[in-house]
Amino acid sequence: MKAVLIVCDGLGDRPTRALRGLTPLQAARADTLNRIASEGECGIMDVIAPGQPPGSDTAHLALFGYDPYACYPGRGAFEALGVGVELQPGDVAFRCNFGTVNDDGIVIDRRAGRISSEEARQLAEALKDIRIESVSGVQVIFHHSSEHRGVLVLRGEGLSRCVSDVDTHKAGVKPAVPQPLDDSPEAERTAKALREFLEKAGKILAEHPLNLERVKRGLLPANILLPRGAGTLPKIEPITRIWGIRAAAIAGGGLYKGVARAVGFDLIQVPGANGTVNTNLRGKVEAAIRALDSYDLVFLHVKATDNVSHDKNPVKKVEVIEWISRELTPLVEKVTSEEYYLAITGDHTTPSEVGEHRGDPVPIAIMGPDVRRDDVKRFDEISCARGSLCRIRGTDLMRILMNYLGRVPLFGE
């Protein structure tokens, strides 16, 4: 017995004026999603807790069955794993933006004029040889991730993730100086190493020919790094060992690959899967169908629903939902013919009139041979609330799926 878990990021929404009071799911003509709801059991899910807006990272930890309050390791760790860094215990990882500061050190753009991936990759290359001298035994690893983003890893004994962000998320102010967030010598050492790295990186970037060339062309130079979200490898038991399963993940966005890797999924790389509305969804679905031959659990992540929600574009969200529904059809057919299980849900609500994550529950539907099929016919926030799953928490989902797969041991006698 096998299962597929499909997560459409930021899928949940609210009644929306541009859609005459419907949610995007309600407004969409999404035959395959509605088929999953009709044939399955439905409900709504508080991914973290009722009313708590989840980040995508904590939300996915919960969906994979882990209590995010107990084991959230800071986002930087997931970003590092997502770009393929073999993170080691003790490493401290940060997500970084390439940004632009003026001569007074004021941030004028947190994304360096949305510098291209190719240019940012070249700049990242120039940062790889930075040596830390003020703190002994600290090694620097720097990777470009996508567009204006990169990942910094500080490796060495006695480091801590308790250091403050450099990125203030604001333009018009100086970047923050990294500070220890507790009294430990580890936090002090890490903040010191980070300060030295930033100073050296700033010099290298300011003098880099690519940046000088950008200035000549009237473009913003990427002359500063803005780290944030310090994180360490989470100490958790892999999902494969908890349930005795083989598990594979298919995702475009680095964060999702990182969370999946952190909890023990094998990553299946799909060309053109890029975590945007232009992703190769067909290729991802084909990969998921193939993965079912060798894995017990296949996780498929689609980011596009969240992207258009942050863009505050409910009409586009309807289109994206309809597109996802169409593209999922062969996967739903495969699952039906093999009598496997399939669950579809979101990791949080991102109302497309608000453009940010909110704490409203998300719809969930599970189809498969032994589910208690209810009379819900549509996959949306309102219809699913009447379903037989009722209202569950994100951390309940994995156990519910594993119960159908016969993987949950008896409690008691």
Of 10 and 175, the one with the shorter C-beta distance to Zn ion is: 10
Question: CA 19 to CA 17: how far, in whole Å?
Answer: 5
Of 10 and 387, the one with the shorter C-beta distance to Zn ion is: 10
Does position 360 bind Zn ion by CB under 5 A? no
Select from 2, 9, 230, 384 the one that contacts Zn ion (CB under 5 A).
Answer: 9
Q: Residue number with the shortest CB distance to Zn ion?
A: 56
Does position 307 bind Zn ion by CB under 5 A? no
Binders of Zn ion among residues 134 to 163 (CB under 5 A) are none
Of 26 and 305, the one with the shorter C-beta distance to Zn ion is: 305
Nearest-approach distance from CB 358 to Zn ion, in angstroms: 10
Nearest-approach distance from CB 336 to Zn ion, in angstroms: 28
Nearest-approach distance from CB 309 to Zn ion, in angstroms: 7
Of 10 and 351, the one with the shorter C-beta distance to Zn ion is: 10
Does position 13 bind Zn ion by CB under 5 A? no
Select from 196, 347, 360, 374 the one that contacts Zn ion (CB under 5 A).
Answer: 347
Of 9 and 165, the one with the shorter C-beta distance to Zn ion is: 9
Nearest-approach distance from CB 56 to Zn ion, in angstroms: 3
Total interface residues for Zn ion by CB under 5 A = 5
Pick from 301, 268, 315, 126: nearest CA to 202: 126
Of 10 and 275, the one with the shorter C-beta distance to Zn ion is: 10
Of 38 and 56, the one with the shorter C-beta distance to Zn ion is: 56
Site string for Zn ion, 32-71 (x = CB under 5 A): ------------------------x---------------
Binders of Zn ion among residues 101 to 120 (CB under 5 A) are none
Of 234 and 275, the one with the shorter C-beta distance to Zn ion is: 275
Nearest-approach distance from CB 315 to Zn ion, in angstroms: 18
* Interface region with Zn ion, contact rule CB under 5 A, candidates 107-115, 197-205, 269-277, 339-347: 339-347
Does position 306 bind Zn ion by CB under 5 A? yes
What is the contact surface with Zn ion in residues (CB under 5 A)?
A: 9-10, 56, 306, 347
